[in-house]
Structure 1
Amino acid sequence: MTFTTRPTLTGTFGMVSSTHWLASQAAMRMLELDGNAADGAVAAGLVLQVVEPHLNGPGGDLPLIVASADDPTPRVLCGQGPAPAGATPEHFAGLGLDRVPGSGPLATAVPGAFDAWMVLLRDRGTMTAREVVAPALHYARHGHPVLERVARTIETVRDLFTDDWTTSADQWLVDGAPPEPGTLVTNHAWADTLERLLAEEASAGGTREQGIDAVRRAWSQGFVAEAVGVFARRPFRHSGGQVLPGVLTAQDLADFEATWEDAVTLDWRGHTIAKTGPWGQGPALLQVLQMVDAAGADDPGTVEGAHTLVEAWKLAMADREAWLGDSAEVPLEDLLDPAYAAQRASLITATASRDLRPGSPGGREPRVAAQALAVDGATDVDATVGEPTVTREGETRGDTCHVDVVDRWGMLVSATPSGGWLQSSPFIPEVGFALGSRLQMMWLEPGLPSSLVPGRRPRTTLTPTLVLRDGIPVLACGSPGGDQQDQWQSVFLLRHLVAGLSLQEAIDAPQLHTTSFPGSFHPRATEPGVVVAETRLGREVLDGLRERGHDVLEQGPWTLGRLCAVAVDPGTGIVSAGANPRGMQGYAVGR
């Protein structure tokens, strides 16, 4: 009998799954007010910025995918801001840096999350900004019970806050200490900013869409951009200890707007899997699904299936390093060619590989950053720098959020907001948020797909997923977790779409991932041969992986993966949802 912590929720009206119960309920409120899935997703996303400030914020990043029964072509909204105009390799070299810091103003890409939420609302929603902002504004103004994990994160960076990031200390410390878990925490500066933005909507007149565009202008060309541009150029301490100013300007914000793109898709096992473009790591998941098929082992609960999946991910992530990014041409068609997948899968043997083996799609010669080739198993990572969820010692660091929504009309939204963590950059008191640190994902070495180039997007790990069947959207899912996001999603998809487990059963099933490739986050470490696995995989599987040469790091039984998922059956209209029990934070709601 398959174990599950709770039932898969089912109903006919609408469903939400997110990484925080308050965000899930905020989205559900929009559905109850006759809003659609886009309205609900925006409300949830704005609440997540307030109640999970250690995981995301208005100054961060946001990719999402949306499709509906009456407009079934999956579309990606890119809220991943690019490198600022002044963020050149020459500038970093002049500062004596050989890589982008993991935190601080120099690590900042142009903020993209807030504009993306507003574009989704304008183009696919039905409600006003004031309506969807109301829950987030309430929690920012009147407070929310702070999570224990937020307080713990603040404790890890308390000395940095008091010694250098003093504006962050003013916002997050209470008498010099982190807030007690469960006590009310407010962000009056962000509440004030929201009120000023909403005043722009109210005074704009005209249509709903024109009001939302007025909010966007005030953000990117008005008082928000002005405050951000001044603050970002002040000197602050970075992850390496250097005290330096950033390069982000108000003009960088004015030059950016979230954009709609076609999704990258793969027809697989009777479904179409939709992901972001190669400026994200999403295409790697599509490669892995093809390799698993070619290898003929699709059950991650067996030694053979787990070994095959891990080895496929090593190959796909090697290709990620050589071929994915926004700063050079990406041979996407060749990377997703079934013949290429079969050739890559043929490299999977019965023994674990410890080598970084990028392929040659279309006969091209791969090239990987020189620093990525340096084997480094370092785990002494600055507490400010990252999104990786689990270190070798099992310590949980910074992370991300996720929200999925489905409405009664068959619209699905999958969104993975992140960045702008309270620990990524100093708090800007004039507007009430911190900037992100996504630029750390770009190499200073020129000529690579992920090289630092002004105006180009960092290759993000944020990777929502939308699934269609017979051309109709049926499933939205995703997970926080940095480089592990798609790895955990591959386990979920194999359990749900192939093995037939329910949403909740597939979410609850034991998880594993590999770190045997260059990490996306400072200091970009590689851990050859490492597999991180929950003990619930069982002694037979864990020992079997060791026998095949894997360096298995066993974690607690409920430590890996934070999947969210919603679904709809187009034939019956039944909607469903599941949420991750790990971390005691994710919740699904619906009826």
Structure 2
Amino acid sequence: MSASTHWLATATAQSVLERGGNAFDAAVAGAFVLHVVEPHLNGPGGDLTAVFATADDPTPVVLVGQGPAPTGATVEHFRAEGLDLVPGAGALAAAVPGAVDALLLLLRDHGTWELADVLAPAIGYARDGHPVTAGVVRTIGAVADLFRQHWPTSADRWLPGGAAPAVGDVVRNEALASVLDRLVAAGSADTASTDTASADATDGADAGRASRIDAARREWAEGFVATTVDAFVRAPHRHSSGTDHAGVLRAEDLADFRASYEPATTAEFRGHTIAKTGPWGQGPALLQALRMLEPLDDARLDPSSELGAHTVVEALKLALADRDAYYGDGDVPLDVLLSDAYTDDRRTCIGDRASATFRPGRVSGVEPVLPPLRTSVDTTGVAGVGEPTVPGARRGPVDERAEVPVEDRGEPFVAPDGDTRGDTCHIDVVDRWGNIVSATPSGGWLQSSPTIPELGFCLGTRLQMTWLEAGTSSTLRPGARPRTTLTPTLVLRDGVPVAALGSPGGDQQDQWQLLFLLRWIVGGYSPQQAIDAPALHTTAFPGSFWPRTWEPAGLVVEDRVGDAVIAGLEGRGHVVTRAGDWTLGRLSCVTRDPATGVLGAAANPRGAQGYAAGR
């Protein structure tokens, strides 16, 4: 079974499974297709995290494709550039690209196919073309003036003939196809050299395949991609700050990075083990929320009711406050944050009224430096809500004339001046042998920085998730990973994986996944019913994306939650923004019943783009 945020990625992954590939071959092939067909949501210049388990070992493992801050990315440099926040668009905000190396590492160690076969679908869609979706067209249109005035290489790439493509037009990216061709060629030209890591993991014919993939990894990190990136970003260009800056990413930064594996962070909930990344990602916040909610009555865990929605949202506020106070790529007191005593204390903070304060917990011996709390009002008059700002959203009674918010349709919010809070995509795959993987590629959005013409893609902006204030848990630091919002999930029962799931959505990813888990595990919903059910999320925390604002007591809901529930939530003090009927939540998942071997999949119907398939 395969499920993803774009039907072509799902179809690609499923075609690999149909031809004998395993879940890792399929996931890698599908993820590279996502780079091509959802360029406004991810790209080769971005990052990726995944959680997986193999048929031979059910222990969940995290694939780390989150690159660190470059050597030149110091607080002092950004301050000298006149900045008090890392910009949301422009190459100065680029971390080291990690997605491509992570996918190649996963393929090398756990896949079975040759790199040429796995990359063939992505190369085909890039070179021969694919029909462009409405989200891509809408995003290009939003930044067309920025491209024309400041990013000419992006205008050349995305405004052929001076205008954005129309929905359904076939678009091509020969430069990207050539990059992938060169990775394959690097492996074909060098089959004699085998890295120590791959030699330890393989032998015989497998060693030859591993060496070919390692050659492609070296070509990416040390060859033409790295040198081309280095040369391009040295020219100053417009950033979302409205000022011009050069990037600091260098070839040496790419050469020094390799993707890696880490043990998953886990917590128990109602007979299930939930596996997430470490606290360099936001994943443990989901675990904290689940632990706070676990002993409560089932009635308080129903997100479709007033009491349940209130309780869930208040738990999320507490978990996300801890995220912003303590999480980062460093010494995080996670053992305390997930402990029984700490969890019990945090649970007592859930009251009958909506909290409008930022309330991280206290950890003995640790005095966190808290991030600044900024509020804003966007041009529509809607209070800023962190990530995303919801342009065109409405509070109060339903107004059918109001435009459905772009961000809540699943696309990044991009203002004409380049103010951008991007989104991401997701893919899940399970095969008949029991291999299972949940992967979230992101970053390198077409609107995140100027297109590098020789490569056909741009760099990501993950450094915007760091602070320039000294002493916070996620202050910008060369060589440290920014605290990413990418947060795939693996679920186990009795030590055996039963589901892989994830979602786009920035700060909302774990919030929407929490709704899914509560409805599936506690409410008895099927996975598809849990995905389809009305969604909501809080915005009462500092957003991870530029300009990093928050809305005290902010709550965004789908109207399908119902007028009575919404009125009750407002009566409890929540500041509610109605987002339309089918706008929030973009999950996909795959499942496996260990007792019967039956596989399942489900995908998000919102936007009519996600797709689940299997046989």
Bin for the TM-score computed over the shorter chain: over 0.9
Q: What is the Cα deviation at residue 202 of structure 1?
A: 1.1
**Whole-Å separation in 2 of the counterparts to 1:231 and 1:378:** 33
Structure 2 equivalent of residue 314 of structure 1: 317
Select 1:332's aligned residue among 314, 325, 334. 334
List gaps (5 residues or longer) in structure 2.
Answer: 193-207, 394-404, 408-412, 414-421
**Whole-Å separation in 2 of the counterparts to 1:284 and 1:392:** 29
Question: What is the SS of the residue equivalent to 1:417?
Answer: strand
Q: What is the Cα deviation at residue 253 of structure 1?
A: 0.2
2:146 aligned with 1:122: no
**Whole-Å separation in 2 of the counterparts to 1:366 and 1:376:** 25
Q: Structure 1 87/401 Cα, relative in aligned 2: closer, same or farther at 3 Å?
A: same
Structure 2 equivalent of residue 467 of structure 1: 491
Residue type at the aligned position of 2:34: L
Structure 2 equivalent of residue 481 of structure 1: 505
Residue type at the aligned position of 1:419: G
Bigger shift: 508-517 or 338-347? 338-347
1:493-530 superposed Cα distances (whole Å, 9 cap, x missing partner): 00111111111111001000010110000000111111
List gaps (5 residues or longer) in structure 1.
Answer: 1-14
1:43-84 superposed Cα distances (whole Å, 9 cap, x missing partner): 010000000000000000100011023211100011001100
Q: What is the Cα deviation at residue 191 of structure 1?
A: 0.6
| Mapping for residues 68-147 of structure 1, pairs under 5 Å | 68-147=54-133
Tell me the TM-score normalised to structure 2 length: 0.91
| Mapping for residues 119-268 of structure 1, pairs under 5 Å | 119-206=105-192, 207-268=208-269
Q: Structure 1 387/348 Cα, relative in aligned 2: closer, same or farther at 3 Å?
A: closer
Residue type at the aligned position of 2:517: L
Q: What is the Cα deviation at residue 388 of structure 1?
A: 3.3
Residue type at the aligned position of 1:32: E
Q: What is the Cα deviation at residue 137 of structure 1?
A: 0.2
Structure 2 equivalent of residue 443 of structure 1: 467
Structure 2 equivalent of residue 37 of structure 1: 23
**Whole-Å separation in 2 of the counterparts to 1:266 and 1:451:** 27
Structure 2 equivalent of residue 5 of structure 1: none
- Contact 1:378/1:525 (<8 A) preserved: no
Q: Structure 1 177/523 Cα, relative in aligned 2: closer, same or farther at 3 Å?
A: same
**Whole-Å separation in 1 of the counterparts to 2:92 and 2:233:** 8
- Contact 1:197/1:218 (<8 A) preserved: yes
Q: Structure 1 427/182 Cα, relative in aligned 2: closer, same or farther at 3 Å?
A: same
Q: CA RMSD, aligned part only? A: 1.4
Q: What is the Cα deviation at residue 336 of structure 1?
A: 0.4
Structure 1 equivalent of residue 455 of structure 2: 431
Q: Structure 1 166/125 Cα, relative in aligned 2: closer, same or farther at 3 Å?
A: same
| Mapping for residues 309-388 of structure 1, pairs under 5 Å | 309-326=312-329, 328-362=330-364, 364-369=366-371, 371=372, 373-378=373-378, 388=388
Question: What is the SS of the residue equivalent to 1:267?
Answer: strand
**Whole-Å separation in 1 of the counterparts to 2:305 and 2:285:** 22
Structure 1 equivalent of residue 46 of structure 2: 60
**Whole-Å separation in 2 of the counterparts to 1:261 and 1:526:** 32
Structure 1 equivalent of residue 303 of structure 2: 300
- Contact 1:358/1:366 (<8 A) preserved: no
- Contact 1:68/1:472 (<8 A) preserved: no
**Whole-Å separation in 2 of the counterparts to 1:539 and 1:506:** 20
Tell me the TM-score normalised to structure 1 length: 0.95
Question: What is the SS of the residue equivalent to 2:112?
Answer: coil
Q: Count matched residues.
A: 570
Select 2:592's aligned residue among 568, 571, 576. 568
**Whole-Å separation in 2 of the counterparts to 1:519 and 1:292:** 23
Q: What is the Cα deviation at residue 392 of structure 1?
A: 6.7
Residue type at the aligned position of 1:395: V
Q: What is the Cα deviation at residue 294 of structure 1?
A: 4.2
Q: What is the Cα deviation at residue 541 of structure 1?
A: 1.2
Structure 1 equivalent of residue 198 of structure 2: none
Residue type at the aligned position of 2:305: T
Structure 2 equivalent of residue 395 of structure 1: 406
Q: Structure 1 494/283 Cα, relative in aligned 2: closer, same or farther at 3 Å?
A: same
1:404-436 superposed Cα distances (whole Å, 9 cap, x missing partner): 000000111000100000000110011111000
Structure 2 equivalent of residue 279 of structure 1: 280
Q: What is the Cα deviation at residue 378 of structure 1?
A: 4.5
Select 2:545's aligned residue among 521, 544, 569. 521
1:348-392 superposed Cα distances (whole Å, 9 cap, x missing partner): 1100000000101345333312x2x334455789xxxx9738457
Question: What is the SS of the residue equivalent to 1:150?
Answer: helix
**Whole-Å separation in 1 of the counterparts to 2:391 and 2:31:** 27
Q: What is the Cα deviation at residue 261 of structure 1?
A: 0.2
